[in-house]
Structure 1
Amino acid sequence: MPRLLYSAIASVDGYTADTSGNFDWAAPDEEVHAFVNDLERSTSTYLYGRRMYETMQVWQTFGDDPDESPVVVDFAGIWRAADKVVYSATLDAVSTPRTSLERTFDPDAVRALVAAAPGDVGIGGPTIAAAALRAGLVDEVRLILVPVAVGGGTPALPRGLNLGLELQDERRFANGTVFLNYRVTPS
């Protein structure tokens, strides 16, 4: 049965972007990137908010240069092969293939989409993930914690939400990054 998986790269103090909106500190090295690629292989569909879609759409052409690293080329192929649904009331149109635009986030429609998906469904971006977490739709939370504290910004997990989590997997990388995979449990 397909799962709805929320994945985020965050600082150790829990932010996906700092107070200036920057996230350049989150760029994975080759080892972490290869691991992320393996995690994403089962993803058949990505659900994004506008900002995350605007960040991720570069993968439509990024990785086309033959001089790119193999992990970059690999991720580009994974991303391009997946369907994408963008939830935005302000975006005029989407510009990538295999992408649809929805004006509102409807938990019942998302539940049906996940149930009918041929593989796992990834939800990307803390704002849209917060809506899915609050609606009880997310099956797993996957955090990749980068060894930097940014002191504030966009939180990876929504404030004010009591969320039960059961550790399923963990991994430490040579650069100090840590992967934590949690199953969401009833709280």
Structure 2
Amino acid sequence: MRTLVYGMNVSLDGFVAAPGGDLDWSAPSDELFRWWLEQEQAMDLLLYGRRLWEAMSSYWPTGDRRPGATPDEVAFARNWRDTPKAVFSSTLGSVGWNARLVTGDAVAEIARLKEGEGGPMRVGGATLAAAALRAGLVDEYTVVTHPVLLGAGAPFLAPLERRAPLRLTETRTFPGGVVMTRYETRP
């Protein structure tokens, strides 16, 4: 059975994007970017909601060819292109870049993928992750907290109907006061 990981950059007040989708507050240090690269390289499959797909696919297909791209950015772009992806959307007509479009029941498809063979999967995008979270499909949470209060925006976690106890498995501090905490679900 595969592991499903949900992790994103988060403001101290729990948002993954400011109103209007602004992400400037979460610009990573070189050390944090390298850490995210290592996390992505460990994934066998990336699961994206439409909005995150549109953001990632607008930059990373050619991120390694941009002037001034660092070696880590080159590696991230190549890994992004090479890693299989599933994009969950009822409005997109097609996707590219080693991705397949899923237009049906997202929870059923994620559950099917978890039961299959292969390594870990990362779910990206707060809306898609919320559906997986409510269905009890997320095995690990990686919270990269930035020292900023946004006041509003897209929340990292959706409201739950029941308590979900977690076990802290790792913490790490990055430059600029960014703190990563990793949790696993408890049976």
TM-score, normalised relative to structure 1: 0.92
Residues 5, 121 of structure 1: 8 Å contact kept: yes
**In structure 2, what is the equivalent of residue 71 of structure 1?**
72
**In structure 1, what is the equivalent of residue 21 of structure 2?**
21
**In structure 2, what is the equivalent of residue 158 of structure 1?**
158
The C-alpha deviation readout for 1:9-48, integer Å capped at 9, x for no partner, is 1111110011232111112110100011112211111111
Matches within 5 A, 1:1-187: 1-57=1-57, 58-65=59-66, 67-94=68-95, 96-161=96-161, 162-186=163-187
The C-alpha deviation readout for 1:43-69, integer Å capped at 9, x for no partner, is 111111110100111211112236311
Give the direction of change, closer, same or farther, for the CA distance of 1:28–1:106 in structure 2 (3 Å limit). Answer: same
The C-alpha deviation readout for 1:83-124, integer Å capped at 9, x for no partner, is 111111111211x22111111234333222123242210100
Give the direction of change, closer, same or farther, for the CA distance of 1:106–1:153 in structure 2 (3 Å limit). Answer: closer
Give the direction of change, closer, same or farther, for the CA distance of 1:116–1:15 in structure 2 (3 Å limit). Answer: same
Residues 63, 77 of structure 2: 8 Å contact kept: yes
Partners in 1 of 2:71 and 2:106 — Cα distance? Answer: 37
Partners in 1 of 2:155 and 2:186 — Cα distance? Answer: 20
Q: What's the CA shift for 1:166?
A: 1.1
Partners in 2 of 1:105 and 1:78 — Cα distance? Answer: 27
The C-alpha deviation readout for 1:119-138, integer Å capped at 9, x for no partner, is 21010000000000001111
Structure with more helix by fraction: 2
Partners in 2 of 1:158 and 1:185 — Cα distance? Answer: 19
The C-alpha deviation readout for 1:126-168, integer Å capped at 9, x for no partner, is 0000000001111001111111111111100112453322111
Q: Write the letter of the residue equivalent to 1:130.
A: A
Partners in 1 of 2:2 and 2:79 — Cα distance? Answer: 17
Partners in 2 of 1:181 and 1:56 — Cα distance? Answer: 23
Percent of counterpart pairs with the same letter?
A: 37
Greater Cα shift, 51-60 or 157-166 = 157-166
What are the ranges of 5 or more consecutive residues in structure 2 without an aligned counterpart?
none
CA RMSD across the alignment: 1.5
What are the ranges of 5 or more consecutive residues in structure 1 without an aligned counterpart?
none
Question: Aligned pair count?
Answer: 185
Partners in 2 of 1:93 and 1:172 — Cα distance? Answer: 39
Partners in 2 of 1:68 and 1:106 — Cα distance? Answer: 35
